C-alpha cells in the first residue's frame, strides 16, 4: 500500500496547532445550524416531500440540465423564485458553493475588475481564482476604500466593467453590508452588484426576500439565495438579468458538467418559498427570537449589540475558544467554536446562531450559561 506520510504529517501539524477537525454527531440545543426558520425537519417540508412523491416527482435528475436532467420542478422553482425575488430570471444550482464559483468564474470577463469585500465567502474566492477578471479586495464594509480602488484602477487604464461583490449578512460576523452606500457606488460607476444573500434569505427583508429588494431597478443586481440555510433544503438560486442567467447556462462549468439537483429538492424549495409568503411570516417569528437574543447577549454577556441572527463572541485564541465551546456543549447547548482559516488569525470565536429550533427560554438559559463560562475563562 502507498504511504501517505506527507498527509499524515500535515494532519499532525494541524493537531499541534489545535486546528484539526473531526466530524461529530449532532447533539444539544441548536445554536449552531443555519436552519434559521426551523424548516429542515418541519411538517411543512415533510408534507411537501410526501405530496411531491405522490404527484410523481423524481428523486434524481439523472443527467445535467442541458442533457436529460431538466425537470419541470426545476423550471417551476426558477419561475417562482424569479417572481419572488424580483429578478428577470433565476437559475437553480446544487449548492451555494458551486453557484458562487460559477458566478465569479463565468460572468466577469477578461478586462473587468471584481472589487470584493475582504470577508466574502471561500466559494467567491475560488470562483475568482478560476476566472479571468482582475480582482481586488476592499477592507470589510469600507465603501470609501472600494471607491478608491475603483478610481485607481480606472486611472491605470482599466476600462472594463466593475463587479462589486459582498454578502448582505456576513456568515461569521453577523454584521450587515452598508447596502445603500454600495448601491450608490455601483450606480456611479455603472457597476454590477453581486450580493450573496445566503444568511439573509428567509430571514431579513419583507417576507425574508433578502436585503436588496429596495435596490431593484436602480442598479444591476445579481443575487445568490442559498436554499440549504433558512429555506431548510439544499441548493441555491442565482437571480438576475436574463442575459447573465443565460450566460451561466451556456458557460458555467459547475452548471454544465454536473448532474442537475434532485427534482424532489426543487419541490421542497418551492414549498419553502411558499411558506415564506404565509401570514404570519415565519421570518416575523424569527425576528422576535432575534430581538430577544440581542437583549440577552448585551445584558448578560456584555456583548456589542448584534445585527442579525448570527452572534459572534470573539475570544481570540483558538484553544481557549474551543474550550469554551466544549463547556457549552457539555451543558447541553450546541455552540460551536470557529477557528482560522475560516476567520482571520487571532479572532477565533463562538458563532451563535438563533433559529426557530429553540425556545425563548432556551435562548435565555444559553446566554446565562455563556455569561458564566466567559466569566470563568481566563483572559476572555
Ligand atoms: C455566505 C455564504 N455563501 C455561500 C455558501 C455556500 O452555500 P452552500 O452551503 O449552499 O453550498 C455559504 C455556506 O456556508 C455561505 O455562508
Specify the pLDDT at position 17.
86
CA pair distance 253, 17, nearest whole angstrom: 36
Q: Each residue of 70-92: pLDDT tens digit?
A: 999 999 999 999 999 999 999 99
The Cβ-side half-sphere exposure at 73, using a 13 Å CA radius, reads: 26
Report the nearest-CA residue for atom 4 of ligand 1: 96
Residue pLDDT, tens place only, 44-69: 999 999 999 999 999 999 999 999 99
Q: What percent of the chain has pLDDT over 70?
A: 98
Selected catalytic residue, list 141, 171, 234, 353: 171
The response to whether residue 104 sits with its C-beta less than 6 Å from ligand 1 reads no
Measured CA distances, 60 to 172, 233, 264 (Å): 33, 15, 8
DSSP 219: B
One DSSP character per residue, 7-72 reads HHHHHHHHHHTT---------SEESS-S-TTS-TTSHHHHHHHHHHHHTT--S---S-IIIII--H
Task: Establish whether residue 101 lines the binding site of ligand 1, counting it when its CB lies within 6 angstroms of any ligand atom.
Answer: no
pLDDT-derived band at 216 (thresholds 50, 70, 90) equals confident
pLDDT score for 304: 96
Q: CA–CA separation, 375 vs 380, rounded Å?
A: 7
What the block records as the C-alpha cell of 246 is 443565460
Check if the beta carbon of residue 293 is closer than 8 Å to that of residue 366.
no
State the Cα–Cα distance between residues 351 and 317, nearest whole angstrom: 14
Q: What's the pLDDT score for residue 379? A: 54
Kindly state the DSSP code that residue 69 receives in the 8-state scheme.
I
Strand partners, 245: none
CA distance 112 to 194: 14
41 neighbors 31 (Cβ within 8 angstroms) = no
Residues 262 and 70: beta-carbon distance below 8 Å: no
DSSP at 74? H
35 is catalytic: no
116: Cβ contacts below 8 Å, ≥ 6 apart: 124, 128, 135, 136, 137, 138, 164, 165, 166
Which residue's entry shows cell 438579468? Answer: 241
Residue ID of nearest Cα to ligand 1 atom 10: 96
288 labelled catalytic: no
> Is 41 a known active-site residue?
no
Q: Tell me: the pLDDT tens digits for 2-23?
A: 889 999 999 999 999 888 899 9
* CB of 223 closer than 6 angstroms to any ligand 1 atom: no
What fold does the segment set 19-36+280-376 form as a domain? 3.90.1150
Pocket test of ligand 1: the residue of 92, 119, 124, 198 to mutate, having most ligand atoms within 8 Å of its CB, is 198
Q: Is 236 in the pocket of ligand 1 (CB under 6 A)?
A: yes
| Cell output for 140 | 470589510
Return contacts of 132-137, CB within 8 angstroms, 24+ apart: 132/108, 133/108, 133/109, 133/160, 133/163, 134/158
Residue 380 pLDDT > 60: no
- Same fold? 19-36+280-376, 44-276: no
pLDDT tens column, 293-344: 999 999 999 999 999 999 999 999 999 999 999 999 999 999 999 999 899 9
d(C-alpha 294, C-alpha 282), whole Å? 18
Say which residue the cell 443527467 belongs to. Answer: 63
Give which of 229, 235, 230, 209 is closest to 221, Cα–Cα: 209
The predicted pLDDT at position 94 comes to: 97
Check if 229 is active-site.
yes
Specify the pLDDT at position 19: 84
The DSSP 8-state label assigned to residue 68 in this structure reads I
**Per-residue pLDDT, 38:** 98
Cβ of residue 94 lying under 6 Å from some atom of ligand 1: no
pLDDT over 80 at 217, yes or no: no
| Annotated catalytic residue within 73, 117, 196, 318 | 196
Q: Name the nearest CA neighbour of 233 among 278, 194, 263, 212.
A: 263
Q: Is 121 a catalytic residue?
A: yes
Cα of first residue to Cα of last residue in the chain, in angstroms, is 47
- Which residue among 97, 120, 230 has the greatest number of ligand 1 atoms within 8 angstroms of its CB, and so is best to mutate? 97
In angstroms, the CA 326 to CA 332 distance is: 10
pTM, two decimals, is: 0.96
Per-residue model confidence (pLDDT) at position 367: 98
- Pairing relationship of beta strands 348-353 and 310-316 according to DSSP bridges: antiparallel
**Nearest C-alpha neighbor of 146 from the set 136, 155, 156:** 136
Q: Which of 34, 105, 308, 357 is catalytic?
A: 34
- Reported as a single tens digit per residue, the pLDDT across 273-287 is 999 999 888 999 999
Task: Strands of 120-245 (E only): list them.
Answer: 134-138, 162-167, 192-196, 220-226, 236-240
Distances from the Cα of 292 to the Cα of 173, 228, 357, angstroms: 19, 25, 14
Each domain of the chain, given as residue ranges in start order, spans 19-36+280-376, 44-276
Least Cα distance to 136 among 152, 160, 157 occurs for 152
Has 70 been annotated as catalytic?
Answer: no
CATH 3.40.640.10 fits 44-276, yes or no: yes
How many Cβ atoms sit within 10 Å of the Cβ of residue 58? 16
Amino acid at each position: 500500500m502507498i504511504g501517505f506520510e506527507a498527509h499524515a504529517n500535515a494532519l499532525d501539524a494541524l493537531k499541534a496547532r489545535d486546528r484539526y477537525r473531526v466530524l461529530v454527531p449532532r447533539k444539544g440545543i441548536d445554536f449552531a445550524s443555519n436552519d434559521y426558520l426551523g424548516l429542515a425537519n418541519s411538517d411543512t417540508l415533510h408534507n411537501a416531500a410526501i405530496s411531491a412523491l405522490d404527484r410523481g416527482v423524481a428523486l434524481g435528475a439523472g443527467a445535467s440540465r442541458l442533457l436529460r436532467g431538466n425537470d419541470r420542478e426545476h423550471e417551476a422553482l426558477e419561475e417562482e423564485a424569479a417572481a419572488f425575488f424580483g429578478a428577470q430570471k433565476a437559475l437553480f444550482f446544487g449548492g451555494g458553493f458551486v453557484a458562487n464559483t460559477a458566478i465569479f468564474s463565468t460572468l466577469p470577463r477578461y478586462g473587468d475588475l471584481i472589487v470584493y469585500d475582504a470577508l466574502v465567502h471561500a466559494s467567491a474566492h475560488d470562483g475568482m481564482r478560476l476566472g479571468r477578471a482582475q480582482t481586488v479586495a476592499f477592507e470589510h464594509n469600507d465603501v470609501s476604500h472600494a471607491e478608491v480602488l475603483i478610481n485607481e484602477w480606472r486611472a491605470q487604464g482599466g476600462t472594463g466593467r466593475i463587479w462589486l461583490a459582498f454578502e448582505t449578512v456576513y456568515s461569521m460576523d453577523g454584521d450587515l453590508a452598508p447596502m445603500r452606500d454600495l448601491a450608490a457606488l455601483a450606480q456611479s460607476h455603472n457597476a454590477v452588484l453581486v450580493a450573496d444573500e445566503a444568511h439573509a434569505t428567509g430571514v431579513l427583508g419583507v417576507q425574508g426576500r433578502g436585503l436588496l429588494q429596495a435596490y431593484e431597478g436602480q442598479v444591476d443586481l445579481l443575487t445568490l439565495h442559498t436554499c440549504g440555510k433558512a429555506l431548510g433544503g439544499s441548493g441555491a438560486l442565482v437571480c438576475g438579468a436574463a442575459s447573465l442567467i443565460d450566460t451561466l447556462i451556456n458557460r458555467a462549468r459547475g452548471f454544465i458538467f454536473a448532474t442537475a439537483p434532485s427534482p424532489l429538492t426543487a419541490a421542497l424549495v418551492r414549498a419553502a418559498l411558499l411558506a415564506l409568503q404565509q401570514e404570519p411570516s415565519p421570518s416575523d417569528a424569527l425576528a422576535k427570537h432575534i430581538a430577544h437574543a440581542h437583549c440577552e447577549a448585551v445584558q448578560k454577556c456584555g456583548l456589542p449589540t448584534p445585527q442579525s441572527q448570527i452572534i459572534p463572541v470573539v475570544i481570540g485564541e483558538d484553544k481557549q475558544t474551543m474550550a469554551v465551546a466544549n463547556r457549552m456543549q457539555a451543558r447541553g447547548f450546541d455552540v460551536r467554536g470557529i477557528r482560522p482559516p475560516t476567520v482571520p488569525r487571532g479572532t477565533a470565536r463562538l458563532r451563535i446562531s438563533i433559529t426557530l429550533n429553540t425556545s425563548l427560554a432556551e435562548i435565555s438559559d444559553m446566554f446565562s450559561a455563556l455569561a458564566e463560562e466567559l466569566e470563568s475563562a481566563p483572559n476572555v
